[in-house]
Structure 1
Amino acid sequence: PISGDVVGIVTQEGQTVIASQLTPVILKLADLDTMTVKAQVSEADVIHITPGQEVYFTILGDAEKRYYAKLKGTEPAPQNFLDSQSSNASKPNSAVFYNALFDVPNPDHRLRISMTAQVHIVREKAKDVLTVPVAALGDKNGDGTFPVRVMDAQGQAQSRNVQTGINNNVRVEIKSGLAEGDQVVIGEPSATPAAAGA
């Protein structure tokens, strides 16, 4: 015997079932106190995630509430390989996604089966660091630094090389080359400068 909530009744009362080939499914049970979330991760990103990383997600019905968990692992085969019915399995140019798995407590049963979640896997964290918009960076130099145009005391844009850190594709950490309050130029030379800040 197992405990759980009945989440589906497959066989109705009075229905004839035949167990000669396959064991018939009468009903489906699930333990809803802990939910396992499957998050699709692209093949470009899956190599950067490891078990134990912090994960948070929101659901469509309540985008303000964050649920937190730790990454349990990643399935070794992509989803279209696992899904024998998928037509993508035969398409060589289709996108490849792997399922990242993590468990989250669900004591009030607010989370339900097959809900859509917006999942974020935290690769790195930094506090109280200097950041600028990613758009402020020029093309990467050979030494790994990036040029940034900074407004000088006379209001002229001067190029300065900076060393970067964490980049979330919106803002980038500046490890060296800028000071808090420096004005960086984004876009064309006539664009309005933006302040570097935490």
Structure 2
Amino acid sequence: MKYLITLMLAAWTLSLPAADPKSKENLIILDETRVKNLGIQFAEAEETDFENTLFALGHIEVLPGKRAVVSSRIPGRAFSVLALPHQTVEEGEELMWVESRQPGDPPPTVMLSAPMSGLISKVDIAVGQPITADQTLIEIIDLATVEAAAKVPQHLAGKLVIGQTARIRVSSLPDKVFEAKLAHLGAYADEQNGTIEAAFHIANPDKVLRPGMRAEFSIATSRREDVMSIPREAIQGDAGGRFVYVKDYELKNAFVKTDVKTGEMNDSRVEITSGLLPGDEVVVRGAYMLGFAGKGSVSLKEALDAAHGHPHNDDGTEMSKEHGSKKADGDHEHEHEETGFNMLTIFFASTSGLLLILLIVSFTFRNRVTA
């Protein structure tokens, strides 16, 4: 008897209509003006290769071996200084003249040239200034290739392998991403900060990367195939509940707030474990502001009327014939699936009725036997 009652309750529960994801509470409909002002842009949910990444901070530095200084082997004074800060020079180019302290009329002079091609980063001498043999007068750096040094936490250093790819961003160039491979790891760990250096060499033909720039690193440590993912910008909400806005396939300028479950996240994409299907178009640009846009200036009734070519009730349901909804001969027949009444509902309703009959028969038979 208990088993029959349990089965009846389960069947009745399953026969209840599911929550409509396109209910008025989850549906936002905007007019053309608001869509344009929000700059709405979409991206498809797709199954692609997904990279698990390690995040770290660091700086841009001069590549080892690409820095040179100019000094004088003889003491004297600066007779002429031709070098200018931030000037590009070629190897062997004349930079300055040093007047020797040896006697003479005039005293002998020595020309100092550029030891390498590059950019003059420092000029620490002025005309007439005394010069000693141990003094650094001019510094030159070659920025054709720079080193990006990431400070990786020690407990994550075991995931690093020479040759791994990193996507590197600098704050001064927010729209640009540099890719480079891991060239070498630091010989020593930084005990004070608890990090180890991971160095990447970046080609820098335009000289846009300069030493000292702060950099952010997303280092790819592993890769998985056929993972459903979307751009990070599409994800809204917090750790307690994530959701996205999905472009409605039927209504124009309509967006459905859809709950999703997320998995791994890297610097550009988020793994979606449930809530979306491949090909769903999610809002990326304008997703955050969409939640504040409300229902816009277009009602659900207006949107459905425009989409289907016949009037609807204010809640979006079909208008009955008693309310004047008549279809002209030859018009396109369009019927909405009524909530809670479909083939699955009929099946479970029938099953519930059969179980009820069995329950009554079993109860009657039991009473007769007892009597």
TM-score band (shorter)? 0.5 to 0.7
Distance 1:18 1:65, change over 3 A: same
Indicate which of 166, 169, 176 corresponds to 1:55. Answer: 166
Match of 1:98 in 2: 196
- 1:11 is aligned with what amino acid? I
Match of 1:67 in 2: 178
Distance 1:30 1:113, change over 3 A: same
Aligned sequence identity (%): 23
CA contact (8 A) 2:168 2:217 kept: yes
Structure-2 separation of matches of 1:173 and 1:43: 30
Indicate which of 96, 119, 128 corresponds to 1:14. Answer: 128
**SS where residue 71 of structure 1 aligns?**
strand
Structure-1 separation of matches of 2:187 and 2:158: 11
Structure-1 separation of matches of 2:176 and 2:218: 13
- 1:57 is aligned with what amino acid? I
Superposed CA RMSD in Å reads 3.0
Match of 2:293 in 1: none
**SS where residue 160 of structure 2 aligns?**
coil
Q: How far is 1:197 from its partner?
A: 6.1
Distance 1:173 1:66, change over 3 A: same
- 2:221 is aligned with what amino acid? R
Structure-2 separation of matches of 1:71 and 1:171: 24
Distance 1:107 1:41, change over 3 A: same
If the length of structure 2 is used for normalisation, what is the TM-score? Answer: 0.32
Match of 1:25 in 2: 136
Structure-2 separation of matches of 1:126 and 1:64: 27
**SS where residue 47 of structure 1 aligns?**
helix
- Unaligned stretches of 5+ in structure 2? 1-114, 230-234, 241-262, 279-371
Structure-2 separation of matches of 1:30 and 1:41: 26
**SS where residue 193 of structure 2 aligns?**
coil
- 1:42 is aligned with what amino acid? P
Match of 2:116 in 1: 2
Distance 1:125 1:8, change over 3 A: same
Match of 1:154 in 2: none
Match of 1:124 in 2: 222
Match of 1:188 in 2: none
**SS where residue 179 of structure 2 aligns?**
strand
Structure-2 separation of matches of 1:11 and 1:44: 46
Distance 1:14 1:65, change over 3 A: same
1:16-75 Cα shifts (integer Å, max 9, x gaps): 2333xxx32111111111111111111111121111000111111222211111110111
- 2:218 is aligned with what amino acid? H
Distance 1:196 1:28, change over 3 A: same
Structure-2 separation of matches of 1:197 and 1:28: 58
Which of structures 1 and 2 has the larger relative contact order (alpha carbons within 8 angstroms, sep 6+)?
2
Q: How far is 1:130 from its partner?
A: 4.3
- Unaligned stretches of 5+ in structure 1? 81-93, 137-165, 175-182, 184-194
Indicate which of 145, 149, 153 corresponds to 1:38. Answer: 149
Q: How far is 1:120 from its partner?
A: 1.1
Match of 1:111 in 2: 209
Query: How many residue pairs align between the two structures?
Result: 133
Structure-2 separation of matches of 1:15 and 1:96: 45
Q: How far is 1:196 from its partner?
A: 6.1
Q: How far is 1:10 from its partner?
A: 2.6
Distance 1:95 1:14, change over 3 A: same
CA contact (8 A) 2:227 2:271 kept: no
If the length of structure 1 is used for normalisation, what is the TM-score? Answer: 0.57
Higher helix proportion: 2
